[in-house]
Every structure is written in structure tokens, then in C-alpha cells.
Structure 1
Amino acid sequence: MADDVGNLHSQSAEIGPVGLYLVKVVVGDVGTPGAPIVNLALTVDAPSGNVSGIAEITQAVQGGNHRFPVSGHIYHTGLGQDQLLVALQGQFVYSVPPPAIGSFLAQFRAGLAVDKTWNGHGGFDYLNTHVDNVPVKRV
């Protein structure tokens, strides 16, 4: 019996990471000219499901790059192969292009459906940009 206890730590189980961990993903059609891409560096607290980190939007247009904090929560489907449903939100200061004058807080929202390796699909919204059903890949 004492031998069995020693093997517990070396056995693998079909559970995801536990505790606090870092994950980096890219969301969007990478390689498509002009497509907005979101890079996420997220700290995940697995027991609570809370997520926080940094989002960086890159797009090959004037004023298309933004970097800002995001936060959210992970939900589990619990059906069949468990999927992680990740809901994120954040804000960034957007300065209107000339000749207009001014800035405002732009809202960002993202929804991802990923497996335990953080690969899947998702979408995001900010300003007048709405992107749906694009790949999510862990980097």
C-alpha cells in the first residue's frame, strides 16, 4: 500500500492545470492581410476560474494597435469533452483621428471556446469591429 501512495504523484489524469498559471493565445485569422488579431497573455486562477491579463490588438490600419488590461471568467461546459468558455472584457483609450478632436474609453469583449490546451475558436468586439468564429491558438 505504501508503494501505491508513492505512485500517485506520477500518475496522469485528464484534468487541466491547477493553481495559478499563465497562458498566451492568439485570436484571429493570422496571415490574412488587414485582419484584426488579438494577442492575449492571461493569468488563470484555475480554482476560481478568474482570468486577468493583457490584450494587444494589432491591425494594419492607422490607429489599429491597442494594448490594455482585460479580465473575465472561465466556465466549463461539463458535457462530453469538457470545453472552457472564456468571457473577457476590457477598455482602452481611443483617440479619434483628425480633423476631429477627442478621446473616449472604447469597450472590448471577447468570447472563446477552447479545449484544455487552449486551442479552439472565438470572437471579439471593439469599436465598430466585430469578429466571429476565428481560430484561437496557444502560442
Structure 2
Amino acid sequence: MSEQPAPSPTPGPTPGTAGADAVSGSPLPAEIASALKRDSAGLVAAIVQQHDTNEVLMLGWMDDEALQRTMTTGRVTFYSRSRQEYWRKGDTSGHVQWVKSVAMDCDGDALLVRVDQVGAACHTGTRTCFDGRTLEVVTGTAG
């Protein structure tokens, strides 16, 4: 099932909004907004993980507004780079992501969103976006 976008009352990120300009107009608390390192489109990668099994479910993109919505509504909101609009996971499919926690990595350029996933996380209908997509690699061992 394909996710459909949620209504987008505010415009999406504008190229070049990374850095100081993004902080001044950000809906986020200043300490969070100033710590985020956004790409040239004003976005940060958001890794989504099942809170109780640590299963990595998917990767999405957030701007400041999507992160603020995620932090304050209990549901995960992403910014669609292809459609250039916000979408709340599960609004059309019923495959809701209930927020359990959000963490920023040490560099501020990635987020870890721990959720309680209802149904499939992937738009293809699989539990995770990584199911059945393992690449062959040479494995290593410690020591």
C-alpha cells in the first residue's frame, strides 16, 4: 500500500535553508534547531526502529516542521522529497508509527525515531524496507 500525503498547511523546506536561516524560522526549540545539521534541502535523515525489538524498519526524511510534528503529536511525520509535502505514516494505509522516543546522533545529521509499528513499515507491504534485500558481502570478525 502506498502512503498518501497528509494535508500540508505549511510549505516544505526551501533549498539553502540549512544553517542559521533554518534556526531563526524553526518551530523547534532553539537548542534542537541549532544542533541539527540539515542537507542543502533543509532535511535530516530519520532512521525508524521498532522500540521493543530494535528492528530497523525504514529511513525517511524530516525538516524542522516534520520533526516538530513527530515530537508533539505521538505519530511520525515525514517530508516527501518526491512530492514535496508532509505525510504522516499510516494515515491512508493504517500502518501507523506510534512514537516512543526520538534521538539525535552526535553530529546532528541523523535522527533515530523509535516507534511501535502497526503493520508494514514499507510501502511495498513488507514489515521493513530491508526485508529480502540483503546484499552479498564478505564478512569480518573481531580479533
TM above 0.5, yes or no, is no
Identify, as 1 or 2, the structure richer in helix.
Answer: 2
Q: TM-score, normalised by structure 1?
A: 0.26
Higher-strand-fraction structure: 1
